[in-house]
């Protein structure tokens, strides 16, 4: 099995996810001694009403040259598992499965492409109920076809790409930098 692969389940949106995201964000900022502006709650659990895997995703922004060092610091201070070499290009991937709620941390360049794309997608989905329903349907269909993270991610990839393009267009129309 691939080190990043794990069993998954998509569940109906839960009202506590936003509060859990805020608490995890606060804890991570405190542990790292960083400003809240450098840690964001992203992913499906950050969008009210969106079905999701019950895993809170946090994005940590830093200088590109500091990504690995920040990921190691997160591991040392918070107990996240650093899956070295298994993040997407430009991203260090960490996960915590020892305490609830389960969470992931994605260390990326602050204000870089991945940072802006993740925020654009989150904010677009928060403003577009029809896109939330579209994405939820794709997520459920992908989860029905597999119970494993990598296959699930691949099965919904086309929908994510299309939503991200719409999110970038939306962000430009809102006057956000880049996107």
> Tens of pLDDT along 20-61?
999 999 999 999 999 999 999 999 999 999 999 999 999 999
Is a pLDDT exceeding 80 seen at residue 178?
no
Start-end of H helices in the chain? 16-32, 67-78, 113-127, 129-145, 149-155, 157-173
Q: What is the CATH number of the domain that holds 125?
A: 3.30.460.10
pLDDT at 85: 80
pLDDT tens by residue, 6-18: 999 999 999 999 9
Is 107 domain-assigned? yes
Q: How many domains does the chain have?
A: 1
Is 4 domain-assigned? no
Is 5 domain-assigned? no
Instruction: Give the neighbor-by-neighbor strand order of the sheet with 39-42.
Output: 39-42, 56-62, 103-109, 92-96, 81-82
Query: How much is the average pLDDT of 53-81?
Result: 97
* pLDDT band of 62, cuts 50, 70, 90: very high
Dist. CA 116–CA 43, nearest whole Å: 13
Is 2 domain-assigned? no
pLDDT at 88: 86
Domain, as residue range, for 21: 16-172
* Bridge partners, 57 (sequence order): 42, 104
pLDDT tens by residue, 100-137: 999 999 999 999 999 999 999 999 999 999 999 999 99
């Amino acid at each position: 099995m691939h080190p990043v692969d794990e069993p998954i389940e998509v569940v109906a949106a839960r009202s506590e996810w936003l509060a859990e995201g805020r608490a995890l964000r606060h804890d991570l900022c405190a542990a790292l001694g960083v400003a809240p502006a450098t840690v964001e709650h992203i992913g499906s659990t950050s969008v009210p009403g969106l079905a999701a895997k019950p895993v809170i995703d946090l994005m940590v922004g830093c200088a590109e040259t500091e990504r690995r060092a920040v990921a190691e610091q997160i591991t040392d201070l918070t107990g996240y598992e650093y899956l070295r070499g298994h993040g997407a290009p430009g991203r260090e991937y960490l996960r915590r499965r020892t305490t609830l709620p389960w969470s992931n941390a994605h260390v990326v360049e602050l204000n870089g492409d991945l940072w802006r794309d993740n925020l654009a997608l989150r904010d677009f989905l928060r403003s577009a109920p029809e896109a939330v329903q579209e994405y939820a349907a794709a997520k459920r269909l992908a989860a029905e076809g597999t119970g494993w993270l990598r296959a699930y991610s691949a099965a919904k990839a086309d929908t994510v790409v299309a939503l991200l393009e719409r999110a970038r267009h939306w962000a430009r129309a809102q006057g956000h930098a880049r996107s």
